[in-house]
Structure 1
Amino acid sequence: MPLPLTHDDPTGFGPYRLLARLGSGGMGTVYLARSAGGRTLAIKTMHSRIATDTAFRTRFRLESDAARVIGGRYGAQVVDADPLAETPWLATEYVLGPPLDEAVEAAGPLPERSVRALGAALCGALGQLHRSDVVHRDLKPSNIMVTAHGPKVIDFGIARALGDDRLTHTGAAVGTPAFMSPEQATGQEHTPAGDVFALAGVLVFAATGRGPFGNGQPADLLYRVRYGEPDLTGTPEALVPILARCLSKDPAERPATAELAAQLHDGGGEFADHLPDAVLALIGARASEVWQVVPQRLPAPADVPATVPSADVPAARGLTRRGLLMAGAGSVLGVAGAGAGVWAWLGRGESAPGPTGPYEKPTPGPSVSALKKKRLDSVWQIQNGGTYDEESPDAPFVLGGVPVVVGNTQIYRMDPASGAVEWTADIDGTWQIASDGERLYQNVRVAHYDDPDSGIPRDVDRFLARVDLATGKAGKHLAEITDANFGGIDSQLLAVAGDTAYLAISQGKVKMYQRQIPWAVTAVDLTSARRPWTEQLPFRSAKSDQWHFLAAKVVGDRLLLLQEMNDGKVRIVARDTRTGKVVWDKPWDVGPTAAHHPLTADGKHLYLGAGRLRALRLSDGSQAWESAPGKSYGPPALKDGVIYAVQKGLGLVGTDAAGGMPRWTEKGGDGAQASPTSRPVIGTRYAYTYSKSEGVLRAIDLASRTTVHLYKANGDRFTAVEQSKMIMASGEHFLAGFPLQ
């Protein structure tokens, strides 16, 4: 439960403002925070008194690295971190759900179906770590958050790479005695088999409400772990032999995570369908708490902090299972997408509004000032992870009116009218999906095992395949990406045009999640599986975790690329699609974040914002036209021969694409609040711009050039789905739909 800030707590870390305390211990404090765009975050910090210790700082950095390895599907997605700050901090998503120990304490032991689904999902999480040669070493109920979409593993404070003993001492037992393995209890090497032992203990706890070795003093627990037999009394009968094998004193006798997952569950159904109603109500209550938090700070000297009141959310009789998740002032389906407008109310210390009514069709108001008093809602909003910042800026993809959202570990097809998810499919990382405008392609990872039970592949191959838009499944392998000489285990699918795919591809061995050198850019013929050309890329540091390219687009016979160099600067590179040779190469004086937007081009020009608005000729890269000096623009959009972009301090403007002459300017003065970092959406009647500071999506009448509607909104990307007359707003943890007119 969130607690008020103390008088000496900082106001924030980096760009994130603190709202409340979530807890504090011997190592540091965890805060509830929000970003400027309204995203809810948890920020973990290290106490200043131990931050001067190099070993503790190293451990904190390794924790950040391990959290990035597990990713947002199985863990709390890392948003930002500064392990070198005076007070090191780590910002992650705020997980909407209770810890497993609190869930069991409040709702009682879980039924067998829940334990099986929980165990299989946790096998996936541990498998993700183990494939990257990382072990958790402290898996326990309090480190597992239960959400509607599956469990998330947190707290990697003592996780480490296999074979790395720099932060441990011989004979020292590091971990939680009630759930550590016998080998860990004696200070020996903790392998993936040790995590399996701990997982079995967690599942016994979930099924019975107690650990397999009971409670007591640490010394007693360590003795029982090393020499005693686990107590499986009360464990469902069918699970006893499975968990007993996992709790074997001999690590070699324990199953690998892949085998254990298959024994526990077939993976069918949604995770929420396997949870009891009481746990679903707890998840809904955790989501509701976020809406109720009002930032408070205790005066100095601080007395015992009083908890901030939060809504009590019982499971009301007659509620559907979806209703259990939506109980309270907020809902799991809405909290993650809480707009900046809502946070503006919270920031002023006022209570957040309750749930709004059904969607109200927008009608023209008498004035902008009147509209500001009544902001319209989205047509729908759901908590499904939207497209990540590291993903291709062209995602979500719209193919024949069908939007496909690309997350960190999944893609899913949406019904743009209702927000319903029609199918989901797994992927294994960012930049592995691309589209030619009609079809969707995937860079598919295929692992080969000498011993399938080990969960550790002998090697990995990658193939290009077409994705079936009806099911989300990858079809037959069209072309192999990896081979013994070329490498290609790590690769970035840049673009597809016609029957050719373009990739950035590694030519060396990849360790963990690092981008290794050397690299090349290559073309792959999807009909013959041949590579017409391969061109080397500049040296890339083995310590770099950045992709070579920020955006890519094929226009005619040009492959246009925004390439991030080793010094962090961005260059615009045009390659001949027939030969791969660089036709022209120009510097672009913007940072990588400002450049990470879809490329806007037609048959003659590439159009750039993020500073002056200008057009470069595709033929040779020379400048065709440029806006007047002293003005700054956001990323541009092209519609009917007009380039639209937000001019900083003015609003939306339109410029003739051919000659650069002004064609259209927003009136009324409201556009001054529009965010120049967001790309506008252009409809047939209205144009739409986003104001992050106000938390609104603004509809501007193209005829009168004035704002006629405001929608409460939040998001990183706004995508037009013209066939359905909808706009999709995408953030890392939510999606929303707005009318497109």
Structure 2
Amino acid sequence: MGATEGDRLGPYHLLSTLGAGGFGEVHLALDPDGRTVAVKILHPHVAADATALSRLAREVETMRRVQGPHVAEVLDASMEGTRPYLVTRYVQGRPLSALIAAEGAVVGDDLVRLAHGLARALAAVHAADVVHRDLKPANVIMADGEPVVIDFGIASALDSASVTASGTVVGTPGYLAPEVIEGGQSGPAADLFSFGTTLAHAATGRHPYGTGPASAVGYRVVHHEPDLEGVPGWLEPVLRECMRRDPAARPTAAQVLERLGIEAPEVGEVFPRPRRAFAVPGLASGPSGSSGGGAVETGVHALSTRQWRPGQRPPSNRLSPEEALRRRRVVVHRRWVVGTGLLTALAAATARTPLPELSLLLLVSYGLVVIVDGGIALLARKDRGRAIVDLAGGAGAVILWAVLGTFFSTLTLALALGTVLFVLVAILVSS
């Protein structure tokens, strides 16, 4: 696609590649106001399909109406030119699929938050007459323990014969509803089936229809019952309803909210209100966050949009590249001052008795270097901390020179100096 770090795409400045999927490559970017966004650049074979692009262009305005703390809102799109793209809110976190692969099944309060968040996300998507069609663990980003659904509506809008023939599979085996596998229409009921399989995988750490070739997994989806062993009792009935083979028998997203004890949002309401405390059977009541578990409040803490401006400290205590480079320079400078100070003091103390003029020359030379460096820091960069380190290094070298020359013999100091020089040369050669 020709997108590289530092490239520009329309008004967006691309920073780095976040990943790639069946429809495009996702980049972290800055918008004209300096806020971070996620830009998905469509693959060339997708961009070449005029029918799919026209359908996506028509769907973008509808997709932009989907809002809420558990969806990555669509902010902008451009279907023109050689690199059509879609812009969404950037959510910093880990995909649910990677989280399960690394840490295993989601349990306890975390599973409750995941179930409630995904149900709210689907309710928001369906309320805007949008069908996700590719809901799966890889399309769920976990941000501060809360799920955020990405890529809603893209698979449905880009479903065309030419796109699929070019190598893109619209949907993921094991998470596609039976009617979709058999060539039927993908509607809201298909999203509910994917909701059930995604939560089943999260709750057990296993794929509910097993693994293997796509054809084998698809056959089990159509003809076999899902593996729900290990799913908590409060969640299993909901998942069984969502994973029924008959789409007409599955509940709607609003009914799933009702079964989970969550009040459906009113029209125009972005953040659903908590309805009641949701008790997880089998967990003794206790303080929130304790090992005993207990009642889990279903209210949603508003997820902060992971955006920051250049020069500000990014969220989650992550340093920007500029700040990391600045701190690295400070560390390197301190190590240089301390290391050269120790070496100069040792060399000057060794030469103090046999060659006093050389000893004085070493100390004066080192002192001039650190004084000049500190002066430049004050005048050019106004870095008072660097100047203090330089002055402290110079003073420390003189003090160490006096102490070593007083308490150690010239032979001892010469042996120590030779050892230090040998180690330094060995490090340089090996590196």
TM-score normalised per structure 1: 0.35
Q: Does the 8 Å CA contact 2:56/2:157 hold for their aligned counterparts?
A: no
Tell me the residue number matched to 1:38.
34
1:144·1:153 contact (CA, 8 Å) conserved in 2?
yes
Q: Secondary structure at the match of 1:29?
A: strand
From the superposition, tell whether residues 149 and 61 of structure 1 become closer, same or farther in structure 2 (CA, over 3 Å): farther
The offset of 1:168, in angstroms, is: 9.4
Deviations 1:482-512 (A, max 9, x none): xxxxxxxxxxxxxxxxxxxxxxxxxxxxxxx
**Are residue 351 (structure 1) and residue 325 (structure 2) matched?**
yes
Name the CA shift for 1:7/1:240 in 2 (closer, same or farther; >3 Å): closer
Residue 124 in structure 1 maps to residue 120 in structure 2: yes
| Corresponding residue for residue 138 of structure 1 | 134
Kindly provide the amino acid, as one letter, of the partner of residue 24 in structure 1.
A
1:20-41 Cα shifts (integer Å, max 9, x gaps): 1112345332111123433112
Distance 1:336-1:260 versus aligned 2 partners, 3 A rule: closer
Alpha-carbon displacement from aligned partner over 1:534-573 (angstroms, at most 9, x marks no partner): xxxxxxxxxxxxxxxxxxxxxxxxxxxxxxxxxxxxxxxx
Cα pair distance change 1:99/1:63, threshold 3 Å: farther
Q: Write out per-residue CA displacement over residues 289-328 of structure 1, whole angstroms, 9 at most, x where no aligned residue.
A: xxxxxxxxxxxxxxxxxxxxxxxxxxxxxxxxxxxxxxxx
Instruction: Return closer, same or farther for 1:347/1:36 CA change in 2, 3 Å cut-off.
Output: farther
Q: Which amino acid counterpart does residue 216 of structure 1 have in structure 2?
A: G
SS in 2 for 1:194: helix
Q: Are residue 256 (structure 1) and residue 252 (structure 2) matched?
A: yes
Instruction: Specify which structure has the higher proportion of strand.
Output: 1
Judged with a 3 Å threshold, the aligned counterparts in structure 2 of structure 1 residues 65 and 106 are, in CA distance, closer, same or farther, namely farther
Deviation sequence 1:451-494 (CA, Å, 0-9, x none): xxxxxxxxxxxxxxxxxxxxxxxxxxxxxxxxxxxxxxxxxxxx
How do 1:82-481 residues align onto structure 2 when only pairs under 5 Å count?
82-148=78-144, 150-155=146-151, 156-160=153-157, 174-266=170-262, 336=306, 338-342=308-312, 351=325
Q: C-alpha displacement at 1:48, in angstroms?
A: 3.6
> How many Å apart are 1:196 and its aligned residue?
0.8
In structure 2, do the counterparts of structure 1 residues 137 and 125 end up closer, same or farther at CA, with 3 Å as the change threshold?
Answer: same
Residue correspondence of structure 1 range 546-585 to structure 2 within 5 A:
none
* SS of residue in 1 equivalent to 2:235: helix
Change (3 A) 1:18 1:243: same
- The separation in 2 between residues aligned to 1:58 and 1:183, in whole angstroms, is 26
Shift of 1:205: 0.8
- Give the partner amino acid of 2:112: R
Q: Which has the larger radius of gyration?
A: 2
- Residue 269 of structure 2 is matched in structure 1 by none
* Paired residues of 2:37 and 2:307 also in contact (CA < 8 A): no
**SS of the residue 1:215 aligns to:** coil
The answer to whether the 8 A contact 1:213-1:221 is kept is yes
Do 1:69 and 1:128's aligned partners in 2 also have CA atoms closer than 8 Å? no
Distance 2:205 2:144 in 1: 21
Q: How does 1:48-63 map to 2 (within 5 A)?
A: 48=44, 50-58=46-54, 60-61=56-57
Distance 2:97 2:240 in 1: 21
Q: Which amino acid aligns with 1:351?
A: L
Residue aligned with 2:174, SS: helix
Question: Alpha carbons of 1:352 and 1:35: their partners in 2 closer, same or farther (altered >3 Å)?
Answer: farther
Instruction: State the partner residue of 2:298.
Output: none
Structure 1 residue 84: deviation in Å?
A: 1.5
Alignment gaps of 5+ in structure 1: 275-331, 355-368, 375-741
Give me the whole-angstrom Cα distance separating, in 2, the residues matched to 1:85 and 1:184: 32
Give, in angstroms, the shift of residue 16 of structure 1.
1.8
Per-residue Cα deviation, 1:165-220 (whole angstroms, up to 9, x for no partner): 89999xx9842111111111111122211111110101101101122111111101
Separation in 2 of the partners of 1:63 and 1:98?
27
| Residue identity matched to 1:204 | A
Bigger relative contact order (CA 8 A; separation at least 6): 2
* Contact 2:6-2:15 at 8 Å conserved across structures: no
Note closer, same or farther for the CA distance 1:194–1:148 as it changes in structure 2 (3 Å cut): same
Structure 1 letter corresponding to 2:85: W
Aligned match of 1:18:
14
> Using a 3 Å threshold, how does the CA distance of structure 1 residues 48 and 127 change in structure 2: closer, same or farther?
same
How far apart, in 2, do the equivalents of 1:76 and 1:253 lie? 29
The change in CA–CA distance for 1:35 and 1:347 in structure 2 (over 3 A counts) is farther
Q: What does 1:473-622 align with in structure 2 at a 5 Å threshold? A: none
- For the 8 Å contact 2:45–2:163, the answer to whether it is kept is no
Aligned partner of residue 96 in structure 1, secondary structure: coil
The answer to whether the 8 Å contact 2:140/2:149 transfers is yes
Q: CA deviation at 1:133?
A: 2.3
Deviations 1:112-162 (A, max 9, x none): 43323322222222222222322111110101112237322112321249x
Q: Deviations over 1:67-95 (max 9, x none)?
A: 41322533212332211132111222210
Deviation for aligned residue 1:60: 4.3
1:109 and 1:187 mapped to 2: Cα distance?
A: 32
CA contact (8 A) 1:173 1:184 kept: no
User: Residue type of the partner of 2:106?
Assistant: L
Q: Contact 1:117–1:264 at 8 Å: present in 2 too?
A: no
Gaps of 5+ in 2: 264-272, 280-301, 329-377, 384-431
With the length of structure 2 as denominator, give the TM-score of the two structures. Answer: 0.58
In 2, Cα distance between equivalents of 1:37 and 1:343: 16
- CA gap 1:42/1:198 in 2 versus in 1, 3 angstroms: same
When residues 135 and 115 of structure 1 are mapped into structure 2, their CA distance, relative to the original with a 3 A threshold, is: same
More helix by share: 2
Indicate conservation of the 8 Å contact 1:99/1:146, yes or no.
Answer: yes
Q: What is the distance in 1 between the residues matched to 2:245 and 2:210? A: 17
8 Å contact 1:66–1:160 — kept in the other structure?
no
- Which residue identity lines up with residue 234 of structure 1 in the other structure? G
The AA in structure 2 aligned to 1:19 is L
Alignment of 1:588-667 (within 5 A): none
How far residue 352 of structure 1 moved from its aligned partner, in angstroms, is 6.3
Amino acid at match of 1:236: P
